[in-house]
Amino acid sequence: MTAKTFRTSDLARAVGIHPNTVRRYVDWGLVPPVERSPAGYRRFTQKHLDCLRLARLIYGADYPGRSIRHSGWEIIQRAVADDWGGALERAYHHLALVQSEQAQANAAASLLERWAQGAATESTGKALQIGEVSKLLGLSNDILRNWERNGLLEVPRLPGNSYRLYGPAEISRLRVIRMLVRSGYSLMAILRMLTRLDRGETVDLRQALDTPHPDEDVYMASDRWLSTLSNEGKKAHEIIAMIEGIINTLPNQS
């Protein structure tokens, strides 16, 4: 029995995208290579449609960060290679990755909340210069200066020579900023939260991290990182369900 074939417009209509987008997905390797009819028209199959739907589910949202993006790419590549069992295995790895990112982001937010309520986070009792802080925290001098330029903290200066002098309060603040950055939050989200904190508002800091201001015309997924990860977690379960459904429709499945 001859397998049913589809035109480019059929796939575009089935997934709700422009035909040119289907062509781009083929060019980018997100859909398997396509045979052409004697007249030169692309002849897509159900396999192409399945891969296209999977790729749209994985990539049809805001950029979720390099590691999650690359993990999604690995799922798609196994599907393109017609290794749906491997795609399912990668999908479960993908879910675990997203859950790990969520745990790290929540741990950083918890540290922030404890620090905002006055919990001690710093044992260094003396003031340090920038090179000493760089070594203590494992951050370059350029990063420390960049965070200061972006308004994340103000650093006192030594009278006479204007050298930066970081006391326990500044170092404690830097530790919180560092953990938030390493957990995926953007500098804009951290600045938004710290601005509220510096006004004396010590509640709803997670909400501040996760809620861009209306005047932030362009923002990234990391500007609302907690919501992004929550959505990625839901999507990871959808990816697994989609692949399992495809596997159940394949021939010779018991």
* Cα atoms in the 13 Å half-sphere on the side-chain side of 24: 8
CA distance 156 to 168: 12
Higher per-residue confidence, 230 vs 156: 230
pLDDT of the residue at 176: 94
pLDDT computed for residue 121 by the predictor: 67
Report the pLDDT value the prediction gives residue 173, as an integer from 0 to 100: 92
Q: Tokens 């949202």 sit at which residue?
A: 61
The predicted structure's pLDDT at residue 1: 47
Range 173-179 contact pairs with CB under 8 angstroms and sequence separation of 24 or more: 174/133, 174/137, 174/139, 174/144, 174/147, 175/121, 175/122, 175/137, 176/111, 176/112, 176/115, 176/121, 177/147, 177/152, 177/153, 178/137, 178/139, 179/107, 179/108, 179/111, 179/112
> Tokens 């969520």 identify what position?
102
Query: Options 1.10.1660.10, 1.20.1440.230, 1.10.760.10, 1.20.1250.20; which CATH number does 1-60 get?
Result: 1.10.1660.10
Is residue 106 predicted with pLDDT exceeding 90? yes
Is the pLDDT reported for residue 247 higher than 90?
A: yes
For the cut 80, the answer to whether the pLDDT of residue 192 exceeds it is yes
Number of Cβ within 10 Å of residue 36's Cβ equals 9
Average pLDDT of the residues in 22-47: 89
Distance CA 132, CA 93 (A): 40
Mean pLDDT of 81-93: 96
Question: pLDDT tens-digit profile of 107-149?
Answer: 999 999 988 887 766 666 778 889 999 999 999 999 999 999 9
Domain boundaries, the chain: 1-60
Indicate the average pLDDT of the chain: 89
| Nearest partner of 114 among 211, 179, 166, 165, judged by Cα | 179
The percent of residues in the chain predicted with pLDDT above 90, rounded, is 63
Contacts of 146 (CB under 8 A, 6+ apart): none
The mean pLDDT value for 63-70 works out to 87
Task: Give dist(CA 187, CA 180) in Å, integer.
Answer: 9
pLDDT, position 229? 93
Is the pLDDT assigned to residue 197 strictly greater than 60?
A: yes
For residue 123, what pLDDT is reported?
65
150-170 pLDDT, tens per residue? 999 998 887 767 788 898 889
Q: What is the arithmetic mean of pLDDT over 75-91? A: 96
Q: What pLDDT, in 10s, does the model give residues 1-22?
A: 457 888 899 999 999 999 999 9
Phi-psi label, residue 40: left if phi above 0, alpha if psi -120 to 50, beta otherwise:
left
3-class secondary structure, 93: helix
Residue located via tokens 């006479």: 160
Instruction: Give whole-number Cα distances, 45 to 34, 48, 52, in Å.
Output: 9, 5, 11
- The pLDDT of 33-42, averaged and rounded, is 84
What pLDDT, in 10s, does the model give residues 174-187?
999 999 999 999 99
Whether 252 has a pLDDT exceeding 80, the answer reads no
Q: Mean pLDDT over residues 226-232, rounded?
A: 93
Q: What is the pLDDT of residue 68?
A: 93
| Residue 130 in tokens | 């920038």
Residue 158, number of CB atoms within 10 A of its CB: 11
| Per-residue model confidence (pLDDT) at position 139 | 94
- Look up residue 244 and give its two tokens: 């399992």
